[in-house]
Chain A
Amino acid sequence: MTEVTTLPDWTAIAPALALLGTAFVLLLADMIDPDDSNGTALTGISVTGGLVALGFALWYLLAGTGQPGASQEPTEGAIELFGDALVVDGMSLFFSVIITSVVVLVALASHEYLREHPYQAEYYSLVLLASTGMVMVTAANSFVTAFISIELVSLPSYALVASLKTNEGSVEGGLKYFLIGALSSAIFAYGIALVYVATGSLQFGAVEIAIADGVGFDSLLGLGMLMILGGIAFKIAAVPFHFWAPDAYEGAPAPISAFISSASKAAGFVLGFRVFVDVFGTATGVFDWVDAFLILSIVTMTIANFTALKQDNVKRILAYSSVAHAGYILIALAAFTGSVEGEISILGAGMAHLFVYGFMNTGAFLFIALAEYWDVGRTVEDYHGLGNRAPFACAAMTVFLFSLAGLPIGGGFFSKFYLLFATVTGGQELLGAALIINSVVSLFYYTRIVRAIWIEEPGEDLEPGEYPTGLYAAIAVAALATILLIPAFGFVIEYAEIAARMIGG
């Protein structure tokens, strides 16, 4: 805790400040010569900024910033800023680490992907602004900051999805994302308004106290909670708020698909955890949100997995896989028991899965970026025989896919196992069964891609093109992280549970 005494409190949001600063540095750099971007310099700035933010987040997390000191209760120690509008605690730092890691990978991978792109500086600064928003979401401690941060994530994301301006798919995906996003934001804001009406406050702590004291407008509060749930479900792409996801992921530049499906989802979940477990934790009598998440979780994983079976486009398969994973992680909320000890392991499992997912899912989408870079095509058939041409990248892809499926080749095995265990702890055996069945179903389409890469003969001679350094480096880092998360999983779950304890307690 020494650095808290030496540094002023506001430095606790240094990760967000670093990202924001980098975004502006990028704009300044672009002003030097707007018509001719120096891609390498821009990538360098973005990666450096991301690393600085990651460094801050990791440092704080490991140093115990915002976490209970030795003499404190496990729920104490959070740093509250700006009149309690922001809070920096174990959970916000844990998720900041996930988000900034993804940002670094995405920025690194974009280097070659953007080689012909006319608006590179804008692209990078939008990525960094969106990630600033994500880090702010993790620290939001009031519905106002939460809403503004969510919008700060959403608006750059819409532009990023549509950033391939001459590509119909990209523009179409961006527009759909924008329209559905606007609708969801409206629902979210309406929900916030209703909660405000019922409780008379927007600050999380005050709302929690108001609910604990009992409010006179139970149905208004319940409706508001449900609408907030809708807004969050949009952000994490849970059925039936997922319709934008396959189109947006498919149309977007692959690094952006990785960014949105990994980091943006993590930001949505952190808000879900904080708002529902912490703020609405005692309001299950008003609106049984546990049951609502239970329904969403099962419906999401089932529909997404079974739909993915029928897809031919690899990016779309991964898009549905990403939706399915939202369903898995929702278990952390759907298995909510209300008991402190059980809840910590359940929430911790969800957070740990998001952590692992951040690497493996990003990696898988970056592999698609590589394939798009080489123009090999979009369908599973087009991937035939890629293994001969790029054995390293394909090996990494195999790790990602199998880890996503939950095979013990990457950290995904343990995190899924913990989720399964969480369903047992939470007494939701049905949910556990759904998880197992769906994981098995998912194995089919993951294996399909792996088989296409390794076993099938290439349809025509693939020209061995150049090997993009940045993209390869990003894939390598993601693969390494995915594998290393097997031995390091104990470490992750430990911090996940510390984070969970701070909101669950």
Chain B
Amino acid sequence: MLGTHPLASSISIPIVPGIGGAEVTALFPLVTFVLILAFGRYLPFKGAFPGIVATGLGFLVALATVVEIAGGAGPRHETLHTLVAGVSGEGVTLTFGVLIDPLSALMLTIVGLISLLVHLFSLGYMNAEGEIDLPRYYAALSLFTFSMMAFVLSDNLLMSFVFFELVGLCSYLLIGFWYREPGPASAAKKAFLVTRFGDYFFLIGVVAVLGTFGTAQFASYAPGVEASFVEIATDALEHGETGEMRTFLGLGERAWITAIGLLVLGGAVGKSAQFPLHTWLPDAMEGPTPVSALIHAATMVAAGVFLIARMYGFYALSPTALAVIALVGGFTAFFAATMALVKQELKQVLAYSTISQYGYMMLALGGGGYVAAVFHLTTHAIFKALLFLGAGAVIIAMHHEENMWEMGGLKDEMRTTYLTFLAGSLALAGIFPFAGFWSKDEVLFETLVHALGGGAPVLFVAYALGLLAVILTAFYTFRMVLLTFHGDPRTDTAEDPHSITLSMKVPLVVLGVLSVVAGVLNMGVFKGFLPENALFLERWLDGATMGEQFRESSLTAEHYHHVLTHDFGAGYSSGYAGLGEGNLALVGGVVALVLALIPAAVAWRLYGGAEPDPHMMNLGRIRTVLMNNYYQDEYQVWLARGFTLPIATLANKFDQGIIDGLVDGSGGVSLFAGGRFRQIQTGVATTYAALLVLGLLILIAVFAVTGGWI
């Protein structure tokens, strides 16, 4: 089970289990969850301490796993528990198992790291502020960490779905942590409802996958797993072996695969806050800021993107699904960025920026850039968690004031926060050499290459939207930084901010450093000038460090590329506009950098002074539309209120109104003497009987006519 590489065995055996027991990463927080739930009140720091220990241990195990994979171990795919074994040959077998490959190991590490840092940060943000009910907070945080890790480790779609829902539940619990106030309570409900809407489609997708392929496995390394559903689908399209695959609704194989892909995409769109289901995320900012950093920036929101990446081999088969993903992603990236331009609250800007950045990841996935998407997922997790934690520090300093126009000049009083926040902002804006520059550029590059290669023309549109979003991103990022930290303090609080604790500074520094250097993972812009194996992440996702079992399987980036570029799959091809790959990458990088620097300069001009003016007011009616988020909420509320509620009311009327009405009516004209109680009693029972007979007569009438009895 353990790798033969000396480094792997020497590190992993004495300290932590590594790949052989990676599922313990998820078990630690589960244990903590139970502990805190039972004894939260008596634990050190109201449960923060066990949380830190558990996530710390989990992070270590995740690291050990990464090290072992780097040393040649893995992949590991094991069915831990077979839940349902119907009579042989019928139904489906539902299993719970773990799948550890480079993708899940990477994600596990991200979740472990951010979770650990957020726990640490919460010490300062929650404990030091004297919040009550902290055990509930830490219990939910632990439950979330558990669910998220289990989601990452899932080896089949159904299990993914289960944990997908669990993280949703945790999100609901944590957004609504301050449930006594109306804002968080309703935001929690909204987040739950909107994501649930996407999840219906996901659930139908899961059933469709099981019904179509008879299995929902992502991989087929485990003994007893003959083929993953992705492999069956690939075989069906590549070799026409449709034996194990059933299609429904009279659709062909490709159309049906597209349909399933789009159904599952519904869940991803909801969870990753893509248009039109993005409306919950800005409201989710009502939750505690560390929660926003962990759940609504770095990890849970990434679950949608991760899900698509997890079964990317499946999506690579369907050009239609990819085009939809690319378009949704590109549009969301642009659309959310416009709304971020005018927001006045710090966290709102960050929320829309998060939506926008996840749009980039979707764009990458749709544009055929699997590695780019995972890369941006990684860097974004780091710098967006950093920005949220920084915002948390500012909010604490400002005594829970979030309006940026009430801040200003904080850079001198809050040196650490300012520097780290700046690092995160530069990464977000995509300025060389910060982490975001490399990953965002990779996203755009991959999309452009496949657009130039004559793939779907829609990729050009998506690419253009992505490029426009670069401009907007740089602008709102610098506006945010300048308003918050530069100029003169605009209020008394900003003049004399509350100090923040060391436990808040440590996570900021760690993430700040990572934001600067994480680009090293995959310096694609220089791919023309670097040796082949310097693109670490690409090699990692190809399984270059691992044995043949993985390298020749269907979960490598190379395999995805193979499917993408063949006609049985998406049929993408690459075009470099006559520049060659390396040069085009460089040109793209320079263009993106220039496009980011110009708006940065404009922002500096507009907001850089000591007393910046609210220039956005000049936008007039456009600003109103943007402030109202394009009235997205309104129609969704209408759907709930104007559509669902009347149905509920109608059904209630049918059962209660008609009966009560009849009874009350008969009461009025009744000739019988006697107490009202008796009247209601006899009245209701006869009405029941009448309705019962009426129902039977309707049934008889319907079937007599259709069945030809008369």
Contact = CB atoms under 8 A, between A and B. Distances in A.
Q: Do chains A and B touch in the complex (CB under 8 A)?
A: yes
Interface of A: 168, 172, 175-176, 179-180, 183-184, 187, 218-219, 222-223, 226-227, 229-230, 234, 239-241, 243-244, 247, 286-288, 291-292, 295, 302-303, 305-307, 309-310, 341, 344-345, 348, 407-408, 414, 417-418, 420-421, 424-425, 427, 429, 432-433, 436-437, 440, 455, 486-487, 489-490, 493-494, 497-498, 501
A240 B84 contact: no
A493 B91 contact: yes
Contact of B86 (A247, A302, A490): A490
A273 to B, nearest CB: 17
Contacts of A247: 684
A288 B703 contact: yes
Contacts of B707: 219, 222, 286-288
B199 to A, nearest CB: 9
Contacts of B652: 306-307, 309-310
A309 to B, nearest CB: 5
Interface of B: 81-87, 90-92, 94, 162, 165, 179, 196, 200, 203-204, 207-208, 210-211, 248-249, 647-652, 654-656, 659, 677, 681, 684-685, 688-689, 691-696, 699-700, 703-704, 706-707, 709-710
A288 B706 contact: yes
Contacts of A179: 685, 688-689
B189 to A, nearest CB: 10
A407 B192 CA distance: 15
A414 B84 contact: yes
B445 to A, nearest CB: 40
B179 to A, nearest CB: 7
Given A487-B83, A493-B84, A223 B709 contact: yes
Nearest to B88: A494
Contact of A176 (B85, B165, B207, B688): B688
Contact of A490 (B83, B204, B677, B681): B83
Nearest to A240: B695
Given A223-B709, A498-B87, A240 B179 contact: no
Nearest to A221: B709
A309 B652 CA distance: 8
A344 B689 CA distance: 36
B203 A436 contact: yes
A497 B87 contact: yes
A402 to B, nearest CB: 10
A-B pairs with lowest CB-CB distance, top 6: A240-B695, A306-B651, A219-B709, A243-B688, A310-B652, A424-B211
Contact of B82 (A244, A306, A490): A490
A126 B85 CA distance: 39
Given A179-B685, A306-B647, A344-B90, A226 B703 contact: yes
Contact of A421 (B211, B692, B699): B211
Given A179-B689, A222-B707, A344-B87, 15 more contacts: A176-B684, A176-B685, A222-B703, A241-B696, A288-B707, A292-B703, A345-B91, A348-B87, A348-B91, A407-B165, A432-B207, A490-B82, A490-B83, A493-B86, A497-B86
A306 B643 CA distance: 13
B678 to A, nearest CB: 10
Contacts of A230: 696, 699
A440 B196 contact: yes
A305 B87 CA distance: 33
B87 A494 contact: yes
Contacts of A307: 651-652, 654-656
A486 B82 CA distance: 11
B685 A180 contact: yes
9 contacts: A226-B699, A241-B692, A241-B696, A292-B699, A408-B165, A417-B94, A424-B211, A436-B203, A494-B85
